[in-house]
Chains A and B, each alone.
Chain A
Amino acid sequence: MSTVASNHSSQAPQQEVEPILVLDSVSCERGDRLLVENLSLSLSPGNGIRIEGPNGSGKTTLLRVLAGLSQQYRGTVLWRGNDIRQSRSALATDTLYIGHLAGVKALLSPLENLSWWASLHIPSTKPLSKATMLNALSQVSLEPFANTPCHQLSAGQQRRIALARLYLSEHRLWILDEPFTAIDAAGVVLLDQRIAEHLAKGNMAIITTHQAMQIDGFISCSLNAAQSEEAISR
């Protein structure tokens, strides 16, 4: 059983704001292991949730449920008051998900990868300009490699291509699964900044990480391994 502190103490002014994402006693299983049990929490504009827990505690499984990728859960997840099982498109329009897999094609260049992603996730009347995308790539220090095939780049650089999406995105909710993996120290600082900017605009984020984060407005949610049969939270 678990409960989660619904608000961070530093977020007093936003306490009255209606939560946009609500989880009501959500349980997820993977195989025959119960990973998340009766998790209830809510997320309001300007806040983030940091999901913690040891390896295998169900962080990724939970994020995939919240992103709408996995249907294998019990309980209800409401996005803007609608069950995400029924209204998938509302969630899809508002969400950016970056999982363990970067979604980067090794045979394409960072620029080609980014422009394909943008055409899917940033609907607009005309395609984003090349300058906009180069700017996003320069934010993650990939501009010199914009036209290099991705299989010639390092794991960290390929990860950065996925993170460049954060500089194009104005989605309400970011769901980031271990975004700091393979990213160097300078990159982590920049990413922290970008997430803080995102929250400051009244948007939301759900992140799993084992790294320390210095961003205001984050609630912690701990998932314990299933064996202990409880998910405690601060």
Chain B
Amino acid sequence: MTDNQANTEVAIFASFNALLIRDLRVYFRSRGTWLNPLVFVLMVITLFTLGIGPDPTTLSNHASGIIWVVALLGIMLSLDALFRADFDDGSLEQLLLSPQPLYLAVLAKVLAHWFITGLPIILASPLFSLMLGIPATAIPALALGLLVGSGILSFIGAIGASLTVSLRSGGLLIALLTLPLYVPVIIFGSQFVQSAIEGWPLMPTFSMLLGLLIGAMVLAPIAIIGGLRLSQDT
């Protein structure tokens, strides 16, 4: 490897880091962005327990589906903000004009967003399990499934966010664009939790989830970059 190549790689890595750190700083200085999705998920799960009733067996029968749908909605609702602030203040222009690879910039942005939405939900998942009567033995599997699944949700949702960033409010349109793509995640995600509850083998559904994550990580940024470039032409 020549020095020149090495230097380029260092610069690429530095720009990835800088974007990740910048986004995390911005998120932590505006408390709402990372607290709201978590509180939303907590409240909707509470509503489910109230609506379905206190019977533990009825609750735990539906628990995996409830947790996944609620986590999906929490992540999706927060995705509207992913590129909007950057679009409004012009830092998206600076990002798109950078000579650094946009692919990594998109990875950094989605990762930063996952840190403040997906990760808190995963960390709080033991609490949700208790509320919905999921047996303690299934909690690690639930957290693991959410870890992989929330990543997929973030990547796919980011496609919707990039396509709607130039619109005044993209909230509902993001939902219409991305919900159909969320179908496989819901199927395998809740299947994974169900398998853990029933003691079925975990590997088949887990490898499907992992495969979806890898696919999303590789392909979604390409669509996201396209969406972001389009936003500059409107």
* A125-B93 contact, Cβ under 8 Å, with A116-B22, A119-B14: no
* A124-B22 contact, Cβ under 8 Å, with A69-B96, A101-B93: no
B22 touches A71 (CB 8 A): no
**Nearest residue, chain B, Cβ from A64:** B232
A71 touches B19 (CB 8 A): no
In the assembled complex, the CB of B27 is this many whole angstroms from the nearest CB of chain A, namely 9
Other than the given A68-B97, A97-B97, A149-B29, 8 more pairs (CB < 8 A) read: A70-B233, A100-B90, A105-B26, A107-B29, A112-B22, A120-B18, A121-B97, A123-B8
B2 on the interface (CB 8 Å rule)? no
Residues on the A chain within 8 Å of B11, using CB: 123-125
Residues of chain B at the chain A interface (Cβ within 8 Å) = 7-8, 10-11, 14-15, 17-19, 22, 25-26, 29-30, 85, 88-91, 93-100, 105, 229, 232-233
Residues on the A chain within 8 Å of B100, using CB: 120, 123
Q: Within the complex, which residue of B14, B94, B96, B232 is in contact with A117, where a contact is CB–CB below 8 Å? A: B94
A65-83: CB near B (< 8 Å → 1, else 0) gives: 0011111100000000000
Residues of chain A at the chain B interface (Cβ within 8 Å) = 64, 67-72, 89, 92-93, 95, 97, 99-108, 112, 115-117, 119-121, 123-127, 149
User: Secondary structure of the B side of the interface?
Assistant: helix
**Nearest residue, chain B, Cβ from A97:** B97
**Nearest residue, chain B, Cβ from A123:** B11
Q: Within the complex, which residue of B10, B18, B19, B89 is in contact with A106, where a contact is CB–CB below 8 Å? A: B89
B18 touches A119 (CB 8 A): yes
A67 touches B97 (CB 8 A): yes
Complex CA gap A126/B90 in Å reads 26
Complex CA gap A33/B22 in Å reads 39
B232 touches A69 (CB 8 A): yes
A71 touches B233 (CB 8 A): yes
A95 touches B97 (CB 8 A): yes
Residues on the B chain within 8 Å of A115, using CB: 18
Q: Within the complex, which residue of A101, A104, A108, A126 is in contact with B25, where a contact is CB–CB below 8 Å? A: A108
Residues on the B chain within 8 Å of A67, using CB: 97
In the assembled complex, the CB of B10 is this many whole angstroms from the nearest CB of chain A, namely 5
* A105-B30 contact, Cβ under 8 Å, with A68-B97, A120-B18: no
In the assembled complex, the CB of B12 is this many whole angstroms from the nearest CB of chain A, namely 8
B99 touches A89 (CB 8 A): yes
In the assembled complex, the CB of A175 is this many whole angstroms from the nearest CB of chain B, namely 9
* A102-B90 contact, Cβ under 8 Å, with A68-B97, A112-B25, A123-B11: yes
* A120-B15 contact, Cβ under 8 Å, with A64-B232, A125-B10: yes
Residues on the B chain within 8 Å of A102, using CB: 89-90
In the assembled complex, the CB of B9 is this many whole angstroms from the nearest CB of chain A, namely 10
Residues on the A chain within 8 Å of B15, using CB: 119-120, 123
Q: Within the complex, which residue of A112, A120, A126 is in contact with B98, where a contact is CB–CB below 8 Å? A: A120
B89 touches A120 (CB 8 A): no
